[in-house]
Amino acid sequence: MVVGAIIWLALAIGTLAWATVLTFARGTVLSVRAVAQWLLSAWFPRILVLSAWAVAGWHVFCQRP
């Protein structure tokens, strides 16, 4: 496994752990609608999502073999 794959795997595991903690802390199951409302509720989540999108796009389209 390459370093980049390990980092993406760690990010996915961290996101899953965060969602699990929120689920147990609130007593409700996260839904797509709840996540969308959170993403649209403030500037920080919007900036975070746009940054992640930019990084992912750079990795997909700007890497040269």
Indicate whether 65 pLDDT > 80.
no
* 23 and 36, same domain (yes or no): no
Same domain? 51 vs 37: yes
Crossing angle, helix 32-39 and helix 43-61, to 10 degrees?
100
Digit-coded pLDDT (tens) for 6-64: 888 898 899 888 878 877 887 777 777 877 887 788 888 888 888 888 888 877 777 76
How high is the pLDDT of residue 13?
A: 92
Structure tokens at 1: 């496994």
SS3 track for the chain: CCHHHHHHHHHHHHHHHHHHHHHHHHCCCCCHHHHHHHHCCCHHHHHHHHHHHHHHHHHHHCCCC
Q: Do residue 39 and residue 65 come from a single domain?
A: yes
By residue range, what is the domain housing residue 61? 31-65
As for how many domains the chain has, the answer is 2
Same domain, 21 and 36: no
